[in-house]
Amino acid sequence: MRQSAIRISESYLVAEEQRAVLGQARHRYGDSQLSPDEIGGHFDYSDWRGRSVSQQNFLGRWTILYFGYSRCNGSCRTVAPMIAQAADELRGKGYPAKAVFVDIETQRVGPARMISGDGVEHGEHSNWPMRFAMSRLYAEQGGKLEVMSGNRAQLARATAGFHVLREHVPPRLNEKAVSINHSSIVYVLGLDTFVAAYGYHDMTRNDLTSLVQQLAAAERKKIDYSAVRNRYISGACGNEAA
């Protein structure tokens, strides 16, 4: 059951009563609750096969976006199937939709390398564990979840633009080396790639499908794209859908 708030962009003409209902929260994650209009703007990634991804891959679709770790055993394992199922259900109802999981583990993305340059298997410079986890996540969702990542610079811009928080902490039970705490936000991008709304990992599939249908039915204010571009940290922030 959802206990956190859902925030909707001010550019969507949604009744204040409905905003108030969605904004109710029994639990609050983090100290700041930014407006959806203050976040987003970066679309430069690589998919789990190593192929480049750009803003064109997001235009014209309702994108359910999540930043996490393919090797995570926490909320990521719950969110991944949920957003994949939500996007699949929306497509079945005639809405152009996709689910995207961006792995923010900062290892080199490229052809899988099982042995590092110094000949040590799974060594410090090997990206095999991460790439294997990404491909496994894709397979587990039957190809209904697009799994992406990027190099350090790409992920730094993405996490800054979408205000994704992450920190390394001492390993928890049954985890090795370090554990990673990270924000767990589910973003909904509109057809123009702007952030239309966001919630948290306790959202349900029904929460997401209902939200997208509500946004798709809402009228939209005219957007000053130049002002938004100036506000975003980096990247092409969004264009009108073709």
Q: Name the CATH code of domain 7-231 (choices 1.10.287.90, 3.40.30.10, 3.40.640.10, 3.40.800.20).
A: 3.40.30.10
Residue 104 · residue 119 · CB < 8 Å: no
pLDDT at 177 (0 to 100): 59
pLDDT band at 29 (very low <50, low <70, confident <90, very high): low
Tokens of 15: 């009744």
pLDDT at 71 (0 to 100): 82
**Is residue 169 helix, strand or coil?**
strand
Residue 182 · residue 67 · CB < 8 Å: yes
pTM for the full model? 0.82
pLDDT above 60 for 21 = yes
Domain boundaries, the chain: 7-231
CA nearest to 4, candidates 189, 208, 201, 188: 201
Q: CA 104, 240, 236, 97: dihedral to nearest 10 degrees?
A: 10
CA–CA–CA angle 153, 155, 157 (5° rounding)? 70
Q: Average pLDDT in the 150-157 region?
A: 89
